[in-house]
């Protein structure tokens, strides 16, 4: 077993394994059995103290809020180091003598012996706060003193370093233990994930709660298949061969754009074009919009829907389709070689069990399908509420994928890509710039382009989702606001 692990920022690796709370606890037990007692907590505390110095090198007064369990023990260990390094840590601690885990008790005794300052209340002024209240053992909503201390941290402008997990966040799902407004986090935040990276840090409320994420494996290597993978970057596109031609990169056919909504289909089509599809056909449902669309975008081939070669194309269906798209769905589901279903196409399927049967038949016929629901569309397909979907996004995405034998992209902060037989992926790119109308249409078109030139629908979908988010990440802060048209023109 390695010695003290290294604290890393996530940019050093393209993908990261994410482990559930149960897997992390099993790993912790194994490692503890192989190491001298108390080793892991000492490593955790040292890593937290070192990171505190790195993120706030000039901080003198450091408030460390410690909870009753081992997360609090990590905070107490950190306090000892900061004290030894001539900083001024002040610990407020919720543990009770005689009623605490053995590791945390040892740390408490050692911190007292070392002369660390303990206080009943947080200091009025502090330069850095360390949240060591709850980690992966948090099971109920913080209340009383713990809630007060969390509120004080969250109201302060001072940076907060969360040990392992932001207190109150469920490490498996990224849901808050409660929905109280104290979670509107203001301060700059860092989270040091210990032993493993947990999925809840990257999806649902996790990204806002955790801020900048750091990882230290405490010198322990996780061997088990992870619960999910984090996609943090992606390989550059392979260069196009000189001999390639428009047929080398596949045909995408976009179907949608009912009267008044042709813009949505055009966004998807433009994204497919800029995303590298060889040829992009558009079957607009709004007859009156066809001329204008052809004139405005000559590279797109606007056609009658009945003239599209569905059985030779990657079809993107549903963007701006309205209720009228329902009538087209039996043919789209039966004939399309590869298929991306978005928006109104998903709503049509959710309402009609006959369409659901057609969708389920596609996979056995080797016709890959990608569904791109946002949480409400996913809820309609799963016959539950959007709240239930958000409660466990990994589970909801996998359930949809298994039910319909499709690749599923569950959109939202930390989009999830699931497919039967694959470990799900959480996408790390993207930000709130994408929270604007039409970005979902762009994503559907881009997935179409990536699918059209790939043999592996799951990998192609993961790459397209990452590339879509990456445009928002790279968008200059002083440039015009990123709208869907700019996004469609910028995707690659
Ligand atoms: N045991 C060890 O050696 C190690 C522990 N580690 C740390 O230990 C953490 C897990 O420790 P625990 O399993 O003790 O769990 P936590 O410390 O996360 O919290 C569990 C404790 O808090 C109490 N609790 C839960 N919700 C509460 C609430 N709302 N209000 C008040 N009390 C509440 C529980 O009754 C229990 O006593 C990890 O997240 C990590 O920070 C890591 O440092 C790895 C090594
Ligand atoms: K914590």
The ipTM of this complex is 0.97
What is the best residue among 4, 46, 70 to mutate for testing ligand 1's pocket, by most ligand atoms within 8 Å of CB?
A: 70
Q: CA 229, 230, 233: angle at the middle one, nearest 5?
A: 130
**Backbone φ and ψ of 59, nearest 5°:** -65, 135
> How many A from CA of 229 to the centre of ligand 1?
25
Parse the chain into domains and list their residue ranges: 8-227, 246-490
**Beta pairing class for 416-418 and 407-410:** antiparallel
Ligand-binding annotation for 441, yes or no, is yes
- pLDDT tens for the chain, 492 residues: list them: 567 889 999 987 889 999 999 999 999 999 999 999 999 999 999 999 999 999 999 999 999 999 999 999 999 999 999 999 999 999 999 998 778 899 999 999 999 999 999 999 999 999 999 999 999 999 899 999 999 999 999 889 999 999 999 999 999 999 999 865 556 666 799 999 999 999 999 999 999 999 999 999 999 998 889 999 999 987 666 666 777 766 667 999 999 999 999 999 999 999 999 999 999 999 999 989 988 988 998 899 999 999 999 999 999 999 999 999 999 999 999 999 999 999 999 999 999 999 999 999 999 999 999 999 999 999 999 999 999 999 999 999 999 999 999 999 999 999 999 999 999 999 999 998 898 899 999 999 999 999 999 999 999 999 999 999 999 999 998 888 899 999 999 999
pLDDT at 199: 98
Written as six digits, the tokens of 184 are 């509107």
First to last CA, the chain: 43
> Among the atoms of ligand 1, which is closest to the Cα of residue 136?
39
Separation between Cα atoms, residue 372 and residue 361, nearest integer Å? 18
Handedness of CA 83, 84, 85, 86 (dihedral sign): positive
Ligand nearest 180 Cα, by number? Answer: 1
pLDDT at 382: 98
Architecture of domain 8-227: 3-Layer(aba) Sandwich (3.40)
β-bridge mates for residue 315, sequence order: 253, 339
Contact 392, 206 (CB under 8 A): no
Q: Which residues surround ligand 2, an ion (CB under 5 A)?
A: 131, 162-163, 167
Q: Which of 139, 137, 107 is nearest to 40 (CA)?
A: 107
pLDDT at 224: 83
pLDDT at 183: 60
Ligand-binding annotation for 322, yes or no, is no
Quick one: how far is CA 160 from the chain centroid?
22
Long-range contact pairs involving 151-158 (C-beta distance under 8 Å, separation at least 24): 151/182, 152/122, 153/63, 153/65, 153/129, 153/187, 154/182, 154/183, 154/184, 154/185, 154/186, 154/187, 155/186, 156/126, 156/129, 156/186, 156/187, 157/186, 157/187, 158/126, 158/127, 158/128, 158/129, 158/187
3.40.50.620, 2.40.240.10, 3.40.190.10, 3.40.1190.20: which CATH number matches 246-490?
3.40.1190.20
pLDDT at 185: 65
Contact 403, 390 (CB under 8 A): no
| Residue carrying structure tokens 């902060």 | 413
Q: One fold for both 8-227 and 246-490?
A: no
* Contacts with 13 (C-beta within 8 Å, 6 or more apart), sequence order: 232
Record the pTM.
0.95
Quick one: how far is CA 177 from the chain centroid?
18
pLDDT at 3: 77
Instruction: Give the residue, by CA position, lying nearest to ligand 1 atom 39.
Output: 135
> Among the atoms of ligand 1, which is closest to the Cα of residue 74?
43
β-bridge mates for residue 340, sequence order: 316, 370
pLDDT at 234: 78
What is the best residue among 4, 41, 96, 135 to mutate for testing ligand 1's pocket, by most ligand atoms within 8 Å of CB?
A: 135
Contact 347, 380 (CB under 8 A): yes
Q: Please give all residues whose beta carbon lies within 6 A of any atom in ligand 1, as ranges.
A: 28, 40-41, 44, 67-72, 74, 101, 103, 134-142, 146, 163-165, 194-195
What torsion, rounded to 10 degrees, do the Cα atoms 38, 40, 46, 50 define?
-170
């Amino acid at each position: 077993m390695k010695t003290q692990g290294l604290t890393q920022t996530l940019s050093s690796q393209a993908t990261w394994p994410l482990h559930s709370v149960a897997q992390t606890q099993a790993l912790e037990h194994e490692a503890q059995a192989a190491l001298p007692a108390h080793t892991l907590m000492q490593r955790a505390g040292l890593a937290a103290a070192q990171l505190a110095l790195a993120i706030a090198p000039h901080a003198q007064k450091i408030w460390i809020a410690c909870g009753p369990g081992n997360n609090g023990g990590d905070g107490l260990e950190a306090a000892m180091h900061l004290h030894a390094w001539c900083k001024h840590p002040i610990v407020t601690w919720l543990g009770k003598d005689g009623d605490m885990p053995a590791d945390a008790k040892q740390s408490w005794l050692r911190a007292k012996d070392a002369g660390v300052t303990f206080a009943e209340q947080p200091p009025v002024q502090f330069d850095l706060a360390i949240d060591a209240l709850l980690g992966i053992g948090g099971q109920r909503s913080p209340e009383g003193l713990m809630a007060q201390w969390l509120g004080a941290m969250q109201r302060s402008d001072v940076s907060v370093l969360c040990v392992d997990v932001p207190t109150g966040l469920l490490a498996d799902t990224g849901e808050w233990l409660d929905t109280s407004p104290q979670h509107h986090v203001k301060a700059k935040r860092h989270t040091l994930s210990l032993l493993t990276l947990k999925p809840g840090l990257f999806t649902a409320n996790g990204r806002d709660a955790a801020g900048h994420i750091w990882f230290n494996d405490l010198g322990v290597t996780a061997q088990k298949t992870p619960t999910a993978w984090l996609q943090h970057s992606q390989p550059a596109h392979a260069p196009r061969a000189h001999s390639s031609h428009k047929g080398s990169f596949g045909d995408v056919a976009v179907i949608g754009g009912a009267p008044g909504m042709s813009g949505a289909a055009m966004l998807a089509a433009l994204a497919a074009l800029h995303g590298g599809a060889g040829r992009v056909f558009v079957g607009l449902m709004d007859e009156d919009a066809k001329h204008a669309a052809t004139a405005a975008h000559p590279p797109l081939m606007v056609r009658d829907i009945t003239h599209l070669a569905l059985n030779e194309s990657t079809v993107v269906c549903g963007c701006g389709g309205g209720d009228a798209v329902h009538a087209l769905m039996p043919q789209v589901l039966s004939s399309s070689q590869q298929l991306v279903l978005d928006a109104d196409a998903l709503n049509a399927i959710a309402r009609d069990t006959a369409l659901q049967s057609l969708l389920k038949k596609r996979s056995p016929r080797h016709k890959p399908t990608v569904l791109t629901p946002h949480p409400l569309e996913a809820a309609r397909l799963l016959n539950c509420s959007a709240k239930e979907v958000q409660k466990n996004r990994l589970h909801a995405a996998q359930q949809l994928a298994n039910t319909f034998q499709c690749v599923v992209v569950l959109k939202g902060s930390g989009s999830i890509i699931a497919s039967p037989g694959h470990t799900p992926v959480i996408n790390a790119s993207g930000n709130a710039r994408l929270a604007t109308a039409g970005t979902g249409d762009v994503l559907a078109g881009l997935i179409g382009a990536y699918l059209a030139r790939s043999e592996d629908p799951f990998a192609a979908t993961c790459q397209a989702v990452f590339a879509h988010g990456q445009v928002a990440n790279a968008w200059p802060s002083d440039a015009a606001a990123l709208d869907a048209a700019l996004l469609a023109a910028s995707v690659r």
